[in-house]
A and B are shown apart, each in its own frame.
Chain A
Amino acid sequence: MNKLLRPFTRNLGFTITAVVVLALGIGANTAIFTAVRAVLLKPLPYNDPDRIVVVAETNKRGVRISVSGADFTDWKAQATSFDAIASYGNYSVPVVAGGSPERLNAAAVNTGWFTAMGAKPVLGRLFDPAEEKPNSEKTALISDGLWRRRFGADPKVLGAKLKLQGAMHIIVGVLPAGFRFPGKTDLWVPLGLFPDSSTRSAHNYRVISRLKSSVSAEQAQAEMTAIAARLAKQYPESNQDIGAAVVPLHTTLSENAKPTLYLLLAAVGFVLLIACANVGNLLLASGARRRTEFAIRAAIGASRTRLVRQLLGESITLAALGGVLGIALAWWSKDLIIALAPSEIPMLSESRIDWAAFAFGVAVSMATGVLFGLFPALQMSRTDLNDALKSSGNRAGVGGAGTRMRSVLVCVEIALSVVLVTGAGLAIRSLVELQNVSPGYDSLNVMVADMAVPAENDAGMRRSIRIYEEFLRRAESTPGVLAAGAVSTVPLSELGSSNGYFSREGQKQMDRSQSAGFHTASERLFPRSRYSAALRPNVH
């Protein structure tokens, strides 16, 4: 051990530089690997997750869109590929539980949804199909997190009430820790599908199903395509060009993050290669100084294999030190990555520096040690005894193959750095340009507040309008506020807009080739934000 560490303690500056450089490379790779594993490689934390599929409708461009209520009802009646098929919608709502209000993510789900997800409550029961009827008693299921936070993990929570959208809901069950689907949901309520959903062109639901164990995703896709074709023939007015797509849930959750993660993996791979070239160079430089030492070892009988082995041992030890520090860095940066990453990347918050990440870090360290150590080792062990012993340590190693190799390493290192920095430069330029894209309105000094006033019926609707009007009036009379307006969703926000077909004045029939995204807005919204193009139709 002493012999192994001697070269490092003797040249502490070199050792520290090399270990830090290697730690940065190995740490970055371990951190990104952890993210890749969490998002792309790990199965979803649900029961038999490979059989959970999302069923969506597709528009004429083949893009997946939400499902209309009536189409879903027909799917459910006709499809035989699934153990369960259920529709749901999710939204963010103010909930009053035990006194104070809190905005929570809620999902409205119908019968079979929990079967499709394979989720069972740890406490209480799931919904009864009768609870989907409009006039039945309102019930709710809560997440383990909400149960602990608001009810102190009290088992007597069953039967407790929470107020949501103006109505009291009785808590009938608690779902297991870690079950938050979809997104970060804390509250599930029964979804009463309007059976009289008169228009098939209103795509408001998402659909999730569990494949029968005997049915493959391809077979289910074939069946759904046939059903969609039948519906298109039956209801050409609304369903022409509307198809159906069966996609594994894991794919729908990870497909947007996938290219970004691969790009990051490539980038940190480059960083590691640069670190290798750098440390390889340092080793060659220090090797020049140790030439006499090796000549003496060779003179007293050490074979070349033995010298290579010694040098490789040294570089692997160096890499192991870098690896330990690197894994520590990855562990420390994990929470930083989760905090900085966009919340749309699901499963990322589940990333852990576990045995797999640790094994990856160790494997990368070993490979790194061989990669940067092998060539210097071969180089340094090929010593001309006579020459080396005669010359002083300082002059040795100048000129010849050692210098050529160092030139190549410097060249490679700079080239890799240019590629990496150019890539980063392009990404930064792109980000800057994207931030300068005008959203069509002047967003400077515009503040946004989220507000939801429940309205269950016509009377509630009139009441909520009065509340909004009063709110806007008071907001405008606040000193410093020039104008206040309300809008269904903020234009260009991630919430999107509503979509509808429109016809021009004088046109008798609705022209289905014209559809536009729209927002419902109050009178005073536009003058302030100068959103003159707000109602300009977005014709496809």
Chain B
Amino acid sequence: MQLFLKLSKTDSGVDAIAGIGIGIAASFLTGQLLRRYIAEVGPAEPLVFAGVPLLLGAVVIAATLLPVIGAIRADPMAAPRWE
């Protein structure tokens, strides 16, 4: 949770939260368009609308952390000589 709060204050965290928010709002609209294609579930199926932000949130966290981990591991002697 603490990690999440810290991440949410980073640039990529803000972008990700804004993107997921806009995406969810747009999904409610496209869900209405999908009505004729789906059966047995509503266009605002809670499981999907809760699961997708979690999934993409995890993707964003992974995408943010992997380069950071790479940077931390970099050899401090070699790094300044790059380029």
Contacts and interface: CB of A to CB of B under 8 A. Distances in A.
B63 to A, nearest CB: 10
Contact of B41 (A393, A403, A413, A430): A430
B27 A419 contact: yes
Interface in A376-433: 393-394, 403, 407, 410-419, 421-423, 425-427, 429-430, 433
A437 interface: yes
Contacts of A434: 39-40
A480 interface: no
A425 B40 CA distance: 13
A228 to B, nearest CB: 30
B1 interface: no
Contacts of B36: 259
B15 A418 contact: no
B36 to A, nearest CB: 7
Contact of A422 (B14, B40, B52, B60): B52
Contacts of A425: 45, 47-48, 51-52
Interface in B26-58: 26-27, 30-31, 34, 36-41, 43, 45, 47-49, 51-53, 55-56
Contacts of A289: 83
Given A429-B45, A430-B38, A422 B20 contact: no
Contacts of B53: 418
B40 A418 contact: no
Contact of B19 (A418, A427, A430): A418
Contacts of B11: 403, 407
A411 B52 contact: no
A430 B56 contact: no
Contact of A418 (B43, B56, B83): B56
B27 A422 contact: yes
Contacts of B61: none
B56 A260 contact: no
Given A410-B16, A422-B31, A426-B48, A415 B22 contact: yes
Contacts of B47: 425, 429
| B: interface residue count bin | 20 to 34
B26 A421 contact: no
A459 interface: no
Given A418-B56, A422-B27, A433-B41, A393 B22 contact: no
Contact of A433 (B24, B39, B43, B60): B39
Interface of A is mostly: helix
A236 B37 CA distance: 38
Contacts of B40: 430, 433-434, 437
Given A263-B37, A394-B83, A411-B15, A423 B27 contact: yes
B16 A426 contact: no
B60 A414 contact: yes
A263 B35 CA distance: 12
A510 B34 CA distance: 43
B49 to A, nearest CB: 7
Indicate the member of A289, A413, A415, A426 with the most B CB atoms within 10 Å: A426
Nearest to B60: A414
Contacts of A416: 23
A412 B18 CA distance: 9
Contacts of B15: 407, 410-411, 414
A418 B34 contact: no
Contact of B45 (A394, A412, A418, A426): A426
B39 A430 contact: yes
Indicate the member of A289, A423, A427 with the most B CB atoms within 10 Å: A423
Interface in A312-352: none
Interface in A355-374: none
B39 A426 contact: no
B2 to A, nearest CB: 23
A412 to B, nearest CB: 7
Contacts of A422: 23-24, 27, 30-31, 48-49, 52
Given A410-B12, A411-B15, A418 B20 contact: yes
Contacts of A429: 38, 41, 45, 47-48
Given A411-B19, A415-B22, A416-B23, A426 B31 contact: yes
Interface of B: 11-12, 14-16, 18-20, 22-24, 26-27, 30-31, 34, 36-41, 43, 45, 47-49, 51-53, 55-56, 60, 83
Interface of A: 259-260, 263, 289, 393-394, 403, 407, 410-419, 421-423, 425-427, 429-430, 433-434, 437
**3 interchain residue pairs of minimum CB distance:** A418-B23, A414-B19, A433-B40
23 contacts: A260-B37, A263-B34, A289-B83, A407-B15, A410-B12, A410-B16, A414-B18, A414-B19, A415-B20, A415-B23, A418-B20, A418-B24, A418-B26, A421-B55, A421-B56, A422-B27, A425-B51, A427-B34, A427-B37, A427-B38, A429-B41, A430-B38, A430-B39
